[in-house]
Amino acid sequence: MPPLDDTDRRLLNDFQRGFPLTARPYAALGRRLGVTEDEVRRRLGRLRDQGLISRIGAVVRPHTAGCSTLAALAVPPADLDRVAALVSDQPEVNHNYQREHTFNLWFVVCADSRPAVTRVLERIAAASGLEPLDLPLLEDFHIDLGFPLWT
């Protein structure tokens, strides 16, 4: 990975909260950083291509815009790559990851309603031959996902 300069670090650090909600947010970021809107876009694209960021978007409190659930599958290890790809191909799955446990593939499903979430889980069950463990949110805890990367 190429070294990051101060502007890259500030892009990764300073805008995890308080992202400008304007018609041209990258222009607003550029003004604060002393670079052009195009430079902000170029840098963010490079940071994405390097795997340092995966998306830029709002984090919304659960169930304020649709419905979601945490789910898991107990996948035979030899079939993990195939099933993970199948799960990742579902447009309603926002991410999945492997864990060391009987339930070794975990994922989050987001849809516009609880019945829609259930349909996604049923689709995954039919395609994988495995029954998802559905773990809907029962109590909301605030976890701040922003944290300083550099001081």
- 122 belongs to a structural domain: yes
**Domain shared by 77 and 29, yes or no:** no
Q: Please give the single-letter amino acid code of residue 57.
A: G
CB 47 within 8 A of CB 11: yes
The tens digit of pLDDT for each residue in 7-50 reads 999 999 888 888 999 999 999 999 999 999 999 999 999 999 98
Dihedral of alpha carbons 57, 106, 61, 150, sign: negative
Is residue 94 located within the same domain as residue 129? yes
SS3 26: helix
Where would I find the beta strands (DSSP E) of the chain? Answer: 67-73, 93-98, 105-111, 133-136
Q: Check residue 64 and give its pLDDT.
A: 73
Q: Which amino acid is at 70?
A: L
Domain count, the chain: 2
Give me the pLDDT at residue 18, please.
Answer: 85
In a domain? residue 131:
yes
Q: Tell me, yes or no, whether 75 and 112 share the same domain.
A: yes
Q: Which domain holds residue 92?
A: 67-136
Whether the predicted pLDDT of 1 surpasses 70 = no
**Do 75 and 130 share a domain, yes or no?**
yes
**Predicted TM-score of the model (pTM):** 0.64
Asked, for residue 150, whether it belongs to a domain, the answer is: no
pLDDT tens-digit readout, 58-99: 766 777 778 999 999 999 999 999 999 999 999 999 889 999
Say if residue 74 is in the same domain as residue 123: yes
Q: Which residue has the tokens 């799960």?
A: 87
More reliable by pLDDT, 149 or 111:
111
The answer to whether position 149 is within a domain reads no
**Distance between CA atoms of residues 127 and 143, nearest Å:** 33
Residues 93 and 126 in one domain: yes
Report the C-alpha gap between 124 and 129 in whole angstroms. 8
Claim to verify: residue 12 and residue 73 sit in the same structural domain: no
d(CA 66, CA 129): 27
Whichever domain contains 132, its CATH number is 3.30.70.3460
Specify the long-range contacts of residues 46-54, CB closer than 8 Å, at least 24 apart. 47/8, 47/11, 47/12, 50/1, 50/2, 52/1, 52/12, 53/12
Are residues 124 and 82 part of one domain? yes
